[in-house]
Amino acid sequence: MDVSELEAAMKKYTRLLWRVAEGILRGAATTEDVDECVADAFIHCWRNPEQFDPSRGPLKSYLCMVVRGRALNRLQSVRRNAADELSEDMAADCDPADGVLRRCDAERLADALGRLPPGYREVLVRRYIREQKPAEIGAELGLPVRAVENRLYRGKQQLKAILIGGD
């Protein structure tokens, strides 16, 4: 892609790419983050022209895909940074009694998990403690993704009943 082609693409698709990135980052990131994602998409196109294959689709679709990836990465980074800041704030405001309460809650949760059927417990632990994706869990346990999602839903319902009802 030469300079004139890049300039033409920028004039033609900047507004579309901005809407794609803004749709993903709305409420989570700044306008500058959106602008940076769009600029990164064009820079990627400039530096890696061989990655665009016109036989697979139009440039417009390729650019949308690139900006979408950049925006999703930025969203993940923004959320991770926000979570880190929140945990730091919580640690700063922490009272020693809070640690005792959290340990009690953790023990209560562990007890409730232990009372679930093994299939539900395994899927819940893998998803929410090990942070595995449903597809990954399904592959490792030999289950369809839909079955994993069903076990997650039903397991959470049972866990909630145990914790609220004290069963």
How would residue 102 be classed by pLDDT, with cut points 50, 70 and 90? low
CATH number at residue 69: 1.10.1740.10
Residue 106 structural domain: 96-165
My answer on whether 9 and 85 are in the same domain is yes
Number of separate domains in the chain: 2
- The size of the chain, in residues, is 167
HSE-up of 5 (CA within 13 Å, CB side)? 8
Last residue of a domain, one of 69, 90, 111: 90
- How much is the pTM? 0.50
Q: How far apart are CA 60 and CA 53, in angstroms?
A: 12
Last residue of a domain, one of 90, 121, 139: 90
- Residue 84 is predicted with a pLDDT of 63
Mean pLDDT of 137-157: 92
- Residue 162 is predicted with a pLDDT of 84
Chain CA centroid to CA 62, Å: 22
* Rg, C-alpha atoms of the chain: 23
Tens of pLDDT, residue by residue over 31-47, are 898 999 999 999 998 89
My answer on whether 82 and 142 are in the same domain is no
Tens of pLDDT, residue by residue over 105-131, are 777 777 888 888 888 888 988 888 788
Both structure tokens of 9? 């693409």
Is residue 95's pLDDT more than 60?
Answer: no
Q: How far apart are CA 47 and CA 42, in angstroms?
A: 9
Tens of pLDDT, residue by residue over 12-28, are 999 999 999 999 888 77
Please identify which residue in the block is written with the tokens 């998803």: 127
Is residue 167's pLDDT more than 60?
Answer: no
My answer on whether 65 and 122 are in the same domain is no
Give the CA distances from residue 73 to residues 37, 78, 82, 100, 157, in Å, rounded to whole numbers and listed in that order. Answer: 9, 9, 14, 36, 32
